Chain A
Amino acid sequence: MSQRLSRFLFIAGVFLTLILVAGTVLASTEPSTVPEAVASGSKTPWWAWPIILLVFTFILGILAVLGGVGGGVLFVPLVGGFFPFHIDFVRGAGLIVALSGALAAGPGLLKRNLANLRLALPVALIASSAAIVGAMIGLALPAKLVNILLGATIIGIVIIMATAKKSDFPVVPKPDGLSQSLGIMGIYREESLGKDVEWNIHRTLPGLLLFIVIGVMAGMFGLGAGWANVPVLNILMGAPLKISVATSKFLLSITDTSAAWIYMNSGAVLPMIVVPSVIGIMLGSIVGVKILARTKPKAIKWLVIGLLLFAGLRALLKGLEIWK
């Protein structure tokens, strides 16, 4: 690992820790229930919060790119756990953060034929429909239960990230009938090999059915679902890793759209939380991509996994009222 990366890691870690600690301390002065909320004020100047959020999400955006995860999956548990916002508003913002990132990446991935519309459209229909159901369930559940389920999900994601295998070019002995009839196949230029790679998929039906679960979870917790999309597309359905990652990123722009509308129409979107977060994550992602081009940050993946584990435990303990 380069010296520059080590320095970056150290600085990012210190910043993140400071913000998390500050967020927790400042959040403890914040109201959480209706009567107190209206009656009491915040001791932190209001204008500090968008700035804290902007800096925090900027660092999160860098780490997300280097750790190979979406911004939403880091945003919801960390902001939900360490900032004074209700989990409803955090999930609403998380969806729009994930949506914005997917919208920004989508055009380039589609034009380079890495995100595949024929693969994405059937999957998106199932995932986006399920995300609506997930969003409605999520908004109806009490915050404590949401935090417990979120914590358990994040810990599950950590296990998937730490153990899931990936295959650059999965073997698909025989494409199944459903994928053939839908014409889900493709060919892309693999620059690392200097040749064109043809691909097909199999196990289409079980794959599509799994996207019901993924969609519900994305809507319920306001997470982007790349952590689940990629293993299903790559390992189960047999799409090449690059196609899976790119199609997954593009998919989020459709899945998260449907859930985002439910949160927005239910009043769970506050611009004061959403806008600094979107800008911070986007700027952080741009910087992250530049750092990624010059380094091989394998260690950052483990930093992100550690961060997620911490955030998952925090959500779980917050829900169980062990760590308020």
Chain B
Amino acid sequence: MAQAKTTKATGEQIAYANILNIGMFLGLAIIVVTFIIYMLGILSSFIPPQDIPKYWGMKSKDFIHSMGAPTGWAWLAMVGKGDYLNFIGIALLAGLTILCYLVILPILIRKKDTPYVVIAFIEIAVLTLAASGILKSGGH
């Protein structure tokens, strides 16, 4: 598929960049604010900050088993806890790419750019599978 000879970014590239820009700033702002809430103890934590050093030397699987810590999306049920509140911003940063692909998909479809529509579809499926929690290692 021949591309236009221009130094300007394509429409889908600009759309991707715009979503990335907004999401990245939002995600970073959220992790800073939620971390301050966590550190100041404004919300009670599943594991209080002062106790974390007792556990961070463990293998993650042992940590989960011994503490009964949530895996997959189970953290959502504990978002009222100071430590798991931090996962909102982290999940937003990790999920941003899926959102960007969802935004460019209609543009690629409109352009009838079939190979890239297929690539974008499969990528969304792959990232959604990774995010789903089905493929987690260890856990309960």
Contact = CB atoms under 8 A, between A and B. Distances in A.
Query: Contact size class for B?
Result: 35 or more
A42 B49 CA distance: 12
Contacts of B104: 117
Contacts of B136: 262, 265-267
Contacts, number: 239
Contact of A86 (B50, B57, B66): B57
A267 B69 contact: yes
A87 to B, nearest CB: 8
Contacts of A85: 56-57
**B interface, by DSSP: helix, strand, loop or mixed?**
helix
Contacts of B133: 265
B135 A262 contact: yes
A168 interface: no
Interface string B127-140: 10111110111110
A258 B126 CA distance: 8
Contacts of A270: 52, 56
A93 B93 CA distance: 13
Main secondary structure of the interface of A (DSSP, over half): helix
A107 B135 contact: no
A88 B63 CA distance: 11
Given A132-B135, A253-B97, A49 B28 contact: no
Contacts of A282: 28
A265 B71 contact: yes
B103 interface: no
Interface stretch (A2-10, A70-78, A96-104, A228-236): A96-104
A206 interface: no
7 contacts: A88-B60, A96-B90, A121-B123, A128-B123, A132-B126, A265-B132, A267-B138
Top 7 A-B pairs, shortest CB-CB distance:
A183-B1, A271-B86, A139-B137, A42-B53, A110-B17, A268-B60, A265-B136
Interface of A: 30-34, 37-38, 40-42, 44, 46-47, 49-50, 84-86, 88-89, 92, 96, 99-100, 103-104, 106-108, 110-113, 116-118, 121-122, 124-125, 128-129, 132, 135-136, 139-140, 143, 181-183, 185-189, 196, 198, 253-254, 257-276, 278-279, 282
Given A107-B20, A113-B8, A183-B3, 10 more contacts: A50-B39, A88-B59, A125-B123, A187-B7, A196-B7, A257-B95, A265-B135, A269-B90, A271-B83, A278-B31
